[in-house]
Amino acid sequence: MAVAFKPIKPLLQTGTSAYSRWFSYIGLGIGVLLLLCSVQMFINIQHLLKEGSIRKDGFDFVSITKNITNETMGQPEKNLFQPQDIEDIKKQPFIAGVSPLLANDFRVQLSAGNIVPFSTDMFLEALDNEFIDTLPSSFQWQEGEQNIPIILSSDFFEIYNIFAPGQGLPQLSKESAMGMPVVITCFGRDNSVNFTGRIVAFSDRVNSVLVPKNFLEWANRTFSNRNRQEASRLFLKLKDVNDPQLIRYLDSKNYVVNKDKTLLGRNKMVLQGIFSGLGIFGLLVVVLALMLFSFYLQLVIARSRESLELLLTLGYSPKWLGKNVSNQFVPVYIFIVLTALLFTQLMQWAFHKFVLFNRPELSTAVSWMVLLLAVLLILMAVVTNARLVKKLLHQLG
């Protein structure tokens, strides 16, 4: 027949330290709430950054330039990327690839012939094919050919359609523009050569007029005296554009990057710091609350020393006594953690509904990791409590 603990429960003098007990309960509850909320918000940030990143084939692509200041104006060696700069960038573990945008070293003029009376000086650039988002098979050129395939920035095309009516020029659809030949005039040292250009694709990634790389290398040798190795702009292939290490590296080098594309990463650094700090603070509060609770238990057992010694003398097992004494507080731990979990769920619901307006990247329910953490906290409190009571009762025996 099992021995009942209820008849001997009044022997424990638990009512003499109610202040310490309630103080530890409140501290434990606040610490658990802070810890669960911090972990949930940390997970929310990860989900938002992951879904908000525009990626292709698992990589992000951004262009960078050097920051031109009043002090570096007129000094190309300081404003252009030197070969050693590119080598240093390639060594960074968070950068998967680098490609300099090769620019023309000669004057170029684009015109649409008699179809559209439009002519302007323009620049041409070339980039490694793997960095181009839209790459048709026709984007190729062989030396001797007069036809030059062009990949035009979608932004440039949009700008043309904005100012065209004001200049008396027709607005064009993308299909019409791709069917319209343009004249590319390359001015050399003593001559000029006309090529026929045709838009073969539009790029949403590269704001430029791209031509095949072998054409631009040939044209620079043919029409220019210079053999420039530097580039004013680099394209980076990144594992994660929001990687804080990348942002710190770019800032340390004073490189300029489109801040819209790294805005989440910059906020990520701040938010992760805030919630990591809150999480650590919550964990410290939990530990302090458990320590305070252990002091309370020691006081209860010290005040009940004579009663417990009598029970041990009467033949009660220390193991049985310890188990039943420690089990008195298990419902309290479960209640505290479940209450904190409930408040965390309410916070997540309000955050999802009223702050992010039900964005699909997030869930209204708390993450399974938060649930797992709550279970671990209960287990940690129960095990710590049981070990402490067992140790104190053995000291009595």
CA pair distance 299, 302, nearest whole angstrom: 5
How many other C-beta atoms are found inside a 10 Å radius of the C-beta of residue 321? 21
Pair 378, 329: CB distance under 8 Å: no
SS3 content of the chain, % helix, strand, coil (to 5): 55, 15, 30
Residue 304, token pair as written in the block: 């009940």
* Structural domain spans, the chain: 9-53+266-395, 55-101+230-260, 106-227
pTM more than 0.85: no
Question: How high is the pLDDT of residue 342?
Answer: 93
CA distances from 251 to 103, 237, 257, 266, 277 (A): 25, 18, 9, 11, 24
- Closest CA relative to residue 282, chosen from 19, 20, 47, 42: 42
Question: How high is the pLDDT of residue 52?
Answer: 47
- Biggest CA–CA distance in the chain, Å, is 115
Question: How high is the pLDDT of residue 211?
Answer: 92
**Burial (Cβ within 10 Å: 0-12, 13-18, ≥19) of residue 208:** buried
Class for domain 55-101+230-260, per CATH? alpha beta
User: Please, which contacts does 266-271 make with residues 24 or more away whose CB atoms are closer than 8 Å?
Assistant: 268/45, 268/49, 268/242, 268/244, 269/244, 271/41, 271/45
Question: How high is the pLDDT of residue 55?
Answer: 53
Positions of the chain with pLDDT lower than 50, given as ranges: 52-54
